[in-house]
Structure 1
Amino acid sequence: MTCMEPAGRDGKAKVVPLRRFEGGVQTHPPPGQPHPWFLKRVSTRDSSDWLNNEFFFRAFAAVMAESGHRVEAPVHEIFDFRWNQDFRGREASEPTVRGGVMYQEPVGWKKFAIRVMGCFEGGNAWLRLDGSPGEWAVAYHGTNVDAMPAILCGGGMRVGERQAYKDFRDQRTGEQIGTGIYCTPSIETAAEFSPTVEAGGRRMQFVIQCRVRPAAIKRIHEEVGRESGAYWLINNPSDIRPYGVLARESPL
């Protein structure tokens, strides 16, 4: 069952699911489990798509297992499918801006949202979409699937051993790039670092979609006006947060 929440500052009323409390303690649905109303909404929206939540999670778990990492956590503890976005079938457009920084939307991919709401100090402003203070920029991280368990279930991104650009200079500030985590505002560039894997009878690619603190971006390349994808580096792992797994059937 649902009820209507009165309009807030944005002037819009919202439909919200009801929850049962006894003695100040939530009894239904059990704390930590998704509400049946949300599950029904996601299922209805997803039912006619081959790349649906069920296929994605089975494929995700299978490729994790093949790389030696068994997925034991329930799906709702890793992902929050309410916030999925489908960019397949969209036309390529001009770069989009988040956190005051340009990036390419992942046209041709479907995003499966990672459960991140409320998981970081300072609230959820870093996830905003309207340019408000605290909004972080969008970036992509292409990697082998055997690195994903540590990223999604092991505490986030980690600095790798390969640091080919550590002695380069930032294209805007002139500061030394140093060591850190590589990412890019270009989905095409990230896909070059994402090997194709067999999953569910299809050849798939997976890329991590992240938010990065704008002031933390070290620019190995200048993204503005660049035809090919730029490389960025984030020195501190706390300044880059995965919030989605992008998936597509490989075009190759």
Structure 2
Amino acid sequence: MPDHKLCLEALSALTGCNVESTTGSFQLTPQDLVNIVALREFYKQEGLKQLDYQPDNPSLGTLSLQDLDETDMYSSPPALTGGAEASPKTTVKINPDEFFHSQYNYDFTKIKDGDKKFLRGNEQYVRPCGWNRVALRVTNKYGDGDHWLGTGNDAWPVSYQGYNMDGSPGIILARDGNPDDEPNFLEASAAALVNEKTRGNGVYSTPEIKMAEKYCKTFKSKVDGKMYKVLLQNRINPERREKCQRENVWVVYIPEGTNNIQTRAIVQESIRPYGLLLKQE
């Protein structure tokens, strides 16, 4: 497993919080983590500047979304710089023994699957080759059991969460090319935006690790001075996701008028995390 301090830096980079270690009670759970990462872009689309976790998790309080507007993706997480000028970001604590599940760590950094095929929930699982997975402790945490985390037919498929995957046409349309190279791009964009389930009002993820990497968070570690990329590896409820025009982009639609508590309940029923992925640049 990567150094615990490096994992804390990765969590800080993903959440925009100052994540610290504790041996006592902890505030941040793996589901809180995916909620923050998944909902950050959603609330940004809604024009909000902060994510209020009360009353369902009052220990987290209000989390700022302002860091999304920063363009420097290569600086050390501001909350970790310390000193009188440190960013006033929310500080949350995790107990590593309760947050991580080292039994299921897996180092994919030197693995190449080639033509090998893997399935989760009868759907192709593109393994995160080139990445190091730090497993999150999520077994026995949900009322409907652990079938979602398995390998059988009733398991949920795997999806990857980038730092800034949103509902912009450049992400959800069928081609990766420059809009200027596609004469019908604006027409296709307009069509996408009038479709209520793919117009940006939801949470986006992808089963393609290479696509998620394009939207990952990058940070410089204070532990070893190296640059790292970080992503979340999740399972997604096949009954709650919609497929966009791009086959490798999935959205969990959040109906208009849904309040904050209902929104987080939808995410918990739809997207559950099980791995923190790290990749050295």
Q: TM-score, normalised by structure 1?
A: 0.60
Among 238, 242, 267, the residue aligned to 1:218: 242
| SS of the residue 1:57 aligns to | helix
Please report how far the alpha carbon of residue 62 of structure 1 lies from its aligned counterpart in structure 2 after TM superposition.
6.1
Structure 1 position 116 matched with structure 2 position 120: no
- Alignment coverage as a number of residue pairs: 172
**Distance in structure 1 (CA, Å) of the matches to 2:107 and 2:196:** 38
Unaligned runs of 5+ in 2: 19-77, 80-88, 173-190, 254-265
What is the match of residue 164 of structure 1? 168
Percent identity between matched residues is: 26
Among 48, 64, 72, the residue aligned to 2:93: 72
Structure 1 position 242 matched with structure 2 position 265: no
Structure 1 position 83 matched with structure 2 position 87: no
What is the match of residue 125 of structure 1? 147
What RMSD, in angstroms, separates the aligned Cα atoms of the two structures? 2.7
Structure 1 position 233 matched with structure 2 position 255: no
Larger Cα Rg: Structure 1 or Structure 2? 1
What is the match of residue 23 of structure 1? none
Q: Give the counterpart letter for 2:159 in structure 1.
A: A
Please report how far the alpha carbon of residue 122 of structure 1 lies from its aligned counterpart in structure 2 after TM superposition.
1.3
What is the match of residue 137 of structure 1? 157
Ranked by relative contact order (alpha carbons within 8 Å, sequence separation 6 or more), the top structure is: 2
**Distance in structure 1 (CA, Å) of the matches to 2:108 and 2:119:** 16
Structure 1 residues 183-239: Cα deviation after superposition (integer angstroms, max 9, x where no partner): 00111111111132101211011101000011222111454xxxxxx2111124121
Structure 1 residues 23-63: Cα deviation after superposition (integer angstroms, max 9, x where no partner): xxxxxxxxxxxxxxxxxxxxxxx5xxxxx243533533664
| Between structures 1 and 2, the one with greater helix share | 2
* Paired residues of 2:167 and 2:198 also in contact (CA < 8 A): no
| Residues 87 and 69 (structure 1), Cα distance of their counterparts in 2 relative to 1, 3 Å cut | farther
| SS of the residue 1:122 aligns to | coil
* Paired residues of 1:61 and 1:71 also in contact (CA < 8 A): no
**Distance in structure 1 (CA, Å) of the matches to 2:111 and 2:217:** 23
* Paired residues of 1:57 and 1:75 also in contact (CA < 8 A): no
